[in-house]
Structure 1
């Protein structure tokens, strides 16, 4: 697929409705029947988006009145409106044509250039992030992912800003969103330039990050559950521990490698109140959700002896918001 001129998409969106959603899935192909990996699919009216995976397969939650725009470098834009059909075969044609002020109130601009940015002190090699001069000896990383990933940003104007040729990462120590424009130009985006961002891991699972100053003013926190009554967040605190190995020939202490150490903290916010730290133990969860103890007991009874981990917490939050 021939690489086209890098362009920027800003998609203006309206307030999301609360209509019943449905899950659609399918595959994105080109005219020759080849898979189109990492095509960007966006619901232009409800501020929801996803990517196809490395084989062109996608899954997406949509509203009954959604209009889906499909974007991939080197192809014309494609739009469709989901109906009762569950599986879709999307065929992209031709070369990408930038149309300003299109059918679904879209425009092609350079909106990332309007964000406050500065060059980051990163080097890249084969798409991987080099984080230290002693990379082979370093344990862990200051970055969320070991490779650049796809994603998009929600601007302060509540618009989705995305470019199919730009990749992202998140610096867990500085709290900066990193933008990789061409493997030579690495930028840090000023957090005051946008509201939130979404990154997709190698399984193309989306991770939403927002600022919650009451939890931490320096970093973004990941949204585990976002519901009308309860919101659950994850804060990853990363510290750098420099090599401190020493020996007197008889006894040894410390490590002979630099290390980035992550510590995860979870918080629940009820009805827009103050964050309350969550400990992943049944007794602590019962205290945190004491206002809905019957609903909590019902969930715990159904979950049985399942490990109380992040997946458990996500399912709990979804159950408590029903």
Structure 2
């Protein structure tokens, strides 16, 4: 297996300055052939505003209108674009550099000696490797299986669910203890729901954990370009990272995911068939509210009445504007954006 050095030595640390007035800029990132470049990294070169393009090369970002956009992607040359108050831009990157490519979690064709991290392989804590796959005559060890298997006299079925938040590696970036933006274009990431770790790879074969000791927060971007913010919050969960759905100077709402693996328990008495033929990762989502003045977490449900009771008049305008929209996690994130823009 390829040796892995520490996460922080792989990351480029960028400076930070005071933030001012912002506008929303949208655009696309393409190569010289007009083809979209998925997950290109886009940032305000003078501030800590940053995002990733989605799988179609499209992006949206808040920036200082007088600033410069810095855009880059693995195996492409970086581009600097002076905005001059433009809010709709099309960016073209030319090929160059040799940052390497990250293999997909879904890709096949790995060599027989390759310890490739697949979506349902089991992690061996602290080693960055995959568990042995010869356990009880089944693939994937205790981590479940992607294939049909035969065990204990019955035909098993593929594992349902996953211990990982995303089906494939996704882009991400962090904020360090000095409030600097940290990013590595060649790295891709995933979140381990059981261990609470953010994992990264730069070759699709080996991996390591992102350390909380040098980072304040880390953001993962899913295939739709939606941001998932993570912080260390031991008062919510004694795990390295916990997702933050809403964060303002007054309020925080966390999402804690408790995931467990339920083993196949199929059995029969010759007449009745009982249990399941598959292993399954089961998620239980719990939400916690913190008023920063008190700093005591309270377990909550995502309902309009609960949000109005907790935030009072602060949330009234947003809730009224949303009409009959259902309250879900995206609703809560949008509420947070609304409060931060006041």
Cα shift at 1:133: 5.0
- How big is each residue's C-alpha offset from its partner over 1:225-247, in whole Å with a ceiling of 9 and x where there is no partner? 22222222211111121122233
1:263 has 2:257 as partner = no
CA gap 1:189/1:282 in 2 versus in 1, 3 angstroms:
closer
| TM-score, with length taken from structure 1 | 0.78
1:169 has 2:190 as partner = yes
Between the aligned partners of 1:134 and 1:74, the Cα distance in structure 2 is 34
Aligned residue number for residue 27 of structure 1:
28
CA gap 1:257/1:219 in 2 versus in 1, 3 angstroms:
farther
Aligned residue number for residue 190 of structure 1:
211
- After superposing the two structures, state which structure 1 stretch, 252-261 or 151-160, moved more: 151-160
Aligned residue number for residue 111 of structure 1:
none
Cα shift at 1:218: 1.4
CA gap 1:32/1:279 in 2 versus in 1, 3 angstroms:
closer
Q: Give ranges in structure 1 of 5+ residues lacking alignment.
A: 1-6, 99-116, 124-129
SS at match of 1:192: coil
Cα shift at 1:276: 2.0
- Work out which of the residue numbers 221, 225, 228 in structure 2 matches 1:200: 221
1:120 has 2:121 as partner = no
SS at match of 1:185: coil
Alignment of 1:62-211 (within 5 A): 62-93=63-94, 95-96=96-97, 119-122=127-130, 132=143, 134-136=145-147, 137-211=158-232
Between the aligned partners of 1:176 and 1:86, the Cα distance in structure 2 is 36
Cα shift at 1:185: 1.5
Aligned residue number for residue 276 of structure 1:
298
1:237 has 2:245 as partner = no
Number of corresponding residues: 288
CA gap 1:269/1:65 in 2 versus in 1, 3 angstroms:
farther
Between the aligned partners of 2:39 and 2:336, the Cα distance in structure 1 is 30
SS at match of 2:333: helix
CA RMSD of aligned residues (A): 2.9
Between the aligned partners of 2:75 and 2:338, the Cα distance in structure 1 is 42
- Work out which of the residue numbers 328, 333, 338 in structure 2 matches 1:309: 328
The answer to whether the Cα contact below 8 Å between 1:149 and 1:201 also exists between their aligned partners in 2 is yes
Aligned residue number for residue 285 of structure 1:
307
- How big is each residue's C-alpha offset from its partner over 1:243-293, in whole Å with a ceiling of 9 and x where there is no partner? 22233234444322111111111122223522222212344334433xx2x
| TM-score, with length taken from structure 2 | 0.74
